[in-house]
């Protein structure tokens, strides 16, 4: 994680109430700084407890603007602002069929699930088996059972449920892999993390 100072691991000490206050404060900060604009994305960030997607030794840092380590090789949960930054740019909305490459902690998938709602679809792929297991557990514990989680190379996408309205590549990637472009709807949008 170049350029970021990850705080030291520690015993978690914060209460649910403290996390809720931090989440509300974070949402105000995201709006003030122009990251959060749409109501659906704002409501999702307010609803999903980010702390539940973070390994215990880093849980108290859930709302700091730093990526935090996850089980697996080089896996991280991105900074809080990265999610509205991506989802606002994608125009992610109710009813969308959404594909994520890089499930990580499962937090981004949970947010997307809230945004697309019951008539939308969330498919997420993760290449690292340890990270995949961690995310699956987090999502189960948080009650998110209605999404498709796939262990494997996200560059191949998931043609079984294509086409997708929106695709988000959260793993570093210079060019969109051709299979993902093929699985994107005409007029759909894809966002890359370079």
Ligand X SMILES: C[S@@+](CC[C@H](N)C(=O)[O-])C[C@H]1O[C@@H](n2cnc3c(N)ncnc32)[C@H](O)[C@@H]1O
Where does this chain bind ligand X (CB under 6 A)? Answer: 72, 75-78, 101-102, 104-105, 107-108, 125-128, 131, 153-155, 170-171
Output the smallest distance, CB 171 to ligand X, in A: 3
Output the smallest distance, CB 95 to ligand X, in A: 21
In the beta sheet, which residues pair with residue 184?
A: 164
Select 27 or 168, whichever has its Cβ closest to ligand X. Answer: 168
Burial of 119 (0-12, 13-18, 19+ CB in 10 A): exposed
3-class DSSP state of 97: strand
Select 27 or 53, whichever has its Cβ closest to ligand X. Answer: 53
Write the CA distances from 5 to 1, 22, 108, 193, integer angstroms: 8, 20, 22, 20
Question: Is residue 78 annotated as part of the catalytic site, yes or no?
Answer: yes
Active-site residue (options: 15, 38, 78, 105): 78
* Residue 190 near residue 167, CB atoms below 8 Å: yes
Select 170 or 183, whichever has its Cβ closest to ligand X. Answer: 170
* Residue 153 near residue 125, CB atoms below 8 Å: yes
Output the smallest distance, CB 132 to ligand X, in A: 8
Select 93 or 153, whichever has its Cβ closest to ligand X. Answer: 153
Output the smallest distance, CB 135 to ligand X, in A: 7
What length does the chain have? 194
**Catalytically active residues, by annotation:** 78
């Amino acid at each position: 994680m170049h350029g970021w100072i990850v705080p030291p691991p520690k015993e978690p000490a914060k209460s649910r109430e403290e996390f809720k206050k931090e989440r509300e404060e974070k949402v105000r900060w995201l709006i003030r700084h122009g990251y959060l604009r749409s109501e659906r994305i704002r409501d999702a960030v307010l609803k999903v407890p980010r702390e539940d997607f973070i390994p215990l030794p880093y849980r108290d840092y859930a709302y700091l603007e730093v990526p935090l380590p996850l089980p697996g090789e080089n896996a991280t949960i991105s900074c809080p602002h990265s999610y509205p930054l991506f989802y606002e740019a994608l125009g992610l909305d109710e009813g969308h069929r959404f594909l994520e490459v890089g499930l990580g902690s499962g937090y981004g998938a949970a947010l997307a699930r809230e945004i697309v709602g019951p008539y939308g679809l969330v498919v997420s792929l993760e290449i690292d088996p340890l990270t995949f297991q961690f995310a699956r557990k987090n999502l189960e514990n948080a009650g998110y059972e209605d999404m498709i989680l796939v262990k494997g190379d996200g560059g191949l996408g998931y043609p079984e449920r294509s086409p997708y309205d929106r695709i988000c590549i959260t793993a570093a990637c210079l060019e969109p892999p051709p299979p993902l472009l093929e699985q994107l709807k005409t007029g759909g949008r894809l966002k890359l993390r370079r």
